[in-house]
Structure 1
Amino acid sequence: MTIEVIAQKRVVEGTGASRRLRRAGKVPGVVYGAGQEAVSIELDHNSLFYAMKDEAFHGAVLSLNLDGETVSVLLRDNQMHPWKPQVLHVDFQRINAAEKITARVALHFKNADISPAVKLNGKKVSHIANSVNVRALPADLPAFIEVDLSNLQAGQSIHLSDLVLPANAELADLARGRDLAVAQSS
Structure 2
Amino acid sequence: MSKKYVLTAQARDLQGKGASRRLRKENLVPAVIYGAGQDAKSITLRHNEMVRNLQEEAFYSQIITVDFGDHQEQTILRDLQRHPSKPIVMHADLQRISEDQEIRIHVSLHFINEDVSKGVKEQGASISHVVSEVEVSCLPKNLPEYIEVDMISIEKGQILHLSDLKLPEGVSLPTLALGEDHNSAIASCH
How many residue pairs end up in the alignment?
A: 186
Matched residue type, 1:72: Q
Once the two structures are overlaid, the 10-residue window that deviates more, 65-74 or 44-53, is 65-74
Which structure: greater strand fraction? 1
Structure 1 gaps of 5+ residues are: none
Identify which of 30, 36, 51 aligns with 1:28.
Answer: 30
Matched residue type, 2:153: N
Superposed counterparts of 1:75-90, under 5 Å: 75-90=77-92
Q: What secondary structure sits across from 1:129 in the alignment? A: coil
Matched residue type, 2:24: R
For residue 63 of structure 2, what is the aligned residue in structure 1? 61
CA distance in 2, matches of 1:128, 1:89: 30
Please list every run of at least 4 consecutive aligned residues from structure 1 whose deviation after the TM superposition is greater than 3 angstroms.
Answer: none
Verify: 1:95 aligned to 2:97, yes or no: yes
Q: Is the 8 A contact 1:9 1:67 kept in 2?
A: no
Q: Deviations over 1:82-109 (max 9, x none)?
A: 1111111100000110011111111111
For residue 3 of structure 1, what is the aligned residue in structure 2? 5
CA distance in 2, matches of 1:66, 1:156: 51
CA distance in 2, matches of 1:167, 1:32: 28
Q: What secondary structure sits across from 2:86 in the alignment? A: coil
Identify which of 134, 141, 164 aligns with 1:162.
Answer: 164
CA distance in 2, matches of 1:29, 1:123: 47
Matched residue type, 1:155: G
Matched residue type, 2:146: F
For residue 129 of structure 1, what is the aligned residue in structure 2? 131
Shift of 1:176: 1.7
Shift of 1:8: 0.6
CA RMSD of aligned residues (A): 1.0
TM-score by length of 2: 0.95
Q: What secondary structure sits across from 1:76 in the alignment? A: strand
Q: What secondary structure sits across from 1:114 in the alignment? A: coil
